[in-house]
Amino acid sequence: MRFLRLPMFGLLTPTSPLDGLIDHYQKIHACVDLIRESLECYLSGGTCREFQELVEQVDKLENEADKIKRSIRNKMPRRLLMPVDKTLFLNYTSAQDNILDAAQEAVSWLAMRAVDVPAELQKPMVLFIDEVMTTVTMLGPALESTIRFIYVEELDRSAVKDKLRTVRRQKDKVFKAKGPLISAIYNQDRDFKDIYQLIHFIQRMDDMSHSAGNCAEILRAMIAK
């Protein structure tokens, strides 16, 4: 089904649910720095005073994002036109919300107990998290460009699609990096509880990147001819 790209929200509804996606993403972006800071704090011994505060800040952001998601869905026009397919829109809100859900679960795994992370794993873990954060950060401009395109404020479809491809490529890069890192953790000669905990943290971080990639796929579908 082809949708007519006209700025219909100004005519049909006072506010656009699409604008809410930007508000929701801003909560995710605010979480990016907290995740990296949490990991660095944890690697310093896992018991630093600030770590628990960082975990609580991630929880707070996740709760705030949930409120925005509910508000977006509650205010969706039931009978009025939307410039994108409603099913795609709802799928996108779920995929974007999954990013913060994974972040919250990831830091929760770290918070369960202190693990003395071996020095040889610390740098690979930090680099992996940086790649995950890059994926999530790239989603912001891609989302904004997609919405501008839908509103006919940006007419270069190819430029928008390039931003979406960049997110997908970065997601693939994270996925490829996950295997060797998990293998390195798994082959550590240490308590299996430590291994289990660290692997789950890495998997949840990969979930963040994977969900950002899903978001890019749904945005691409929204602007498909």
In the prediction, which pLDDT does 111 show?
86
The one-letter code for the residue type at 32 is: V
Q: Does residue 142 fall inside a structural domain?
A: yes
Q: What is the CATH number of the domain that holds 141?
A: 1.20.58.220
d(CA 117, CA 4): 54
Note down the domain range covering 160.
Answer: 17-223
Nearest-10 Cα torsion for 224, 163, 58, 72: -30
Nearest partner of 51 among 192, 122, 59, 191, judged by Cα = 59
| Tokens read off for 56 | 């609580």
Q: Does residue 199 fall inside a structural domain?
A: yes
Nearest partner of 100 among 67, 146, 75, judged by Cα = 67
In the prediction, which pLDDT does 78 show?
66
The 3-state DSSP composition of the chain as helix, strand, coil percent (nearest 5) reads 80, 0, 20
Which residues, in sequence order, are CB contacts of 95 under 8 Å at separation 6+? 211, 214, 215, 218
In the prediction, which pLDDT does 34 show?
87
Write the pLDDT tens digit of every residue in 120-161.
Answer: 999 999 999 999 999 999 999 999 999 999 887 667 889 999
d(CA 26, CA 31): 9
Number of structural domains in the chain: 1
Mark out the alpha helices in 118-156 (DSSP H runs). 119-150
In the prediction, which pLDDT does 10 show?
40
Write the pLDDT tens digit of every residue in 25-41.
Answer: 999 999 887 888 888 88
In the prediction, which pLDDT does 113 show?
87
Contact (Cβ atoms closer than 8 angstroms) between residue 147 and residue 223: no
Q: Does residue 10 fall inside a structural domain?
A: no
In the prediction, which pLDDT does 84 show?
77
Instruction: Name the stretches of the chain with pLDDT < 70.
Output: 1-15, 45-49, 77-81, 153-154, 225
Q: Does residue 202 fall inside a structural domain?
A: yes
In the prediction, which pLDDT does 7 show?
41
Q: Does residue 201 fall inside a structural domain?
A: yes
Q: Does residue 8 fall inside a structural domain?
A: no
In the prediction, which pLDDT does 182 show?
97
Q: Does residue 74 fall inside a structural domain?
A: yes
Q: Does residue 108 fall inside a structural domain?
A: yes
